[in-house]
Amino acid sequence: MTGRIQIDLFTTLDLVAQAPGGPEEDTEGGFEYGGWQAPFFDDVVGRSVGDGIADLDALLLGRKTYDIFAAYWPKHEGSDSAIADQFNRVPKYVASRSDLELSWAGSTRIGSDLVAEVQALRERHRNIHVIGSLDFVQTLLRERLFDELLLWVYPLVLGKGKPVFGPGTEPSTMRLLAPAVTGSAGAVQLRYAPGGPVRTGDMGSDSRGV
């Protein structure tokens, strides 16, 4: 069995993905727009997120997102929340080079040899989701350690904050996996798989065959 790794991110039109969920989620760099996603939530987004979570069998998280999840989801176990039940049930892996207090049941630290350890998770799990974890995602993107990048792109521009593709991102193309899905509040879901190398050309008449 070779499992797949899916990265799930909520981002603005200018590809800022810092702290979509709440004001205190990530204030690094003086970011004051935490919680920008909330005014745009709708049923389409909710169903899509719920469907994706229902099919995961492991979570792979960065340190900050793990701490946020570990402080929240165990408190909602047995609360008739399908997301809480799923997150509390499946194994959790947190990427960190530092020792951690792993209070959330089913949690394991990885990070001594991150690339090898992430690859090994594919042999243990069928459908691994990386949610948020923007700093950790930079490593996954750089090393191409993912099978799908799912972006919910929201209709606002912030002009500041941590981007989806940070410094050091390797030039590459992406391959669209499915038609876009649009929520009633204007968010657009885009699903991509890793593509190939970047190619350049000339948009003049010769390259278009006219």
Q: Which of 193, 191, 190, 183 is nearest to 37 (CA)?
A: 183
Three-state DSSP class for 50? Answer: helix
pLDDT, residue 71, reads 92
Query: For 69-114, what is each residue's pLDDT tens digit?
Result: 999 999 988 777 889 999 999 999 999 988 888 999 999 999 889 9
Q: Has this prediction a pTM greater than 0.85?
A: yes
CATH topology of domain 6-198: Dihydrofolate Reductase, subunit A (3.40.430)
pLDDT, residue 45, reads 87
Residue with tokens 């929340």: 81
Tokens of 204: 């003049």
* 147 in Cβ contact with 121 (< 8 Å): no
Q: How far apart are the first and last CA of the chain?
A: 47
Q: Is the dihedral of CA 45, 49, 50, 55 positive or negative?
A: positive
Q: Which of 115, 174, 162, 130 is nearest to 19 (CA)?
A: 162
Q: What is the mean pLDDT of residues 14-24?
A: 94
Three-state DSSP class for 150? Answer: strand
* 35 in Cβ contact with 20 (< 8 Å): yes
* 94 in Cβ contact with 101 (< 8 Å): no
pLDDT-based confidence at residue 210 (cuts at 50, 70, 90): low
Query: For 125-147, what is each residue's pLDDT tens digit?
Result: 999 999 999 999 999 999 999 99
Task: Give the separation between CA 145 and CA 168, rounded to whole angstroms.
Answer: 15
In the chain, % of residues over pLDDT 70: 97
Q: Is pLDDT above 60 for 207?
A: no
pLDDT, residue 76, reads 87
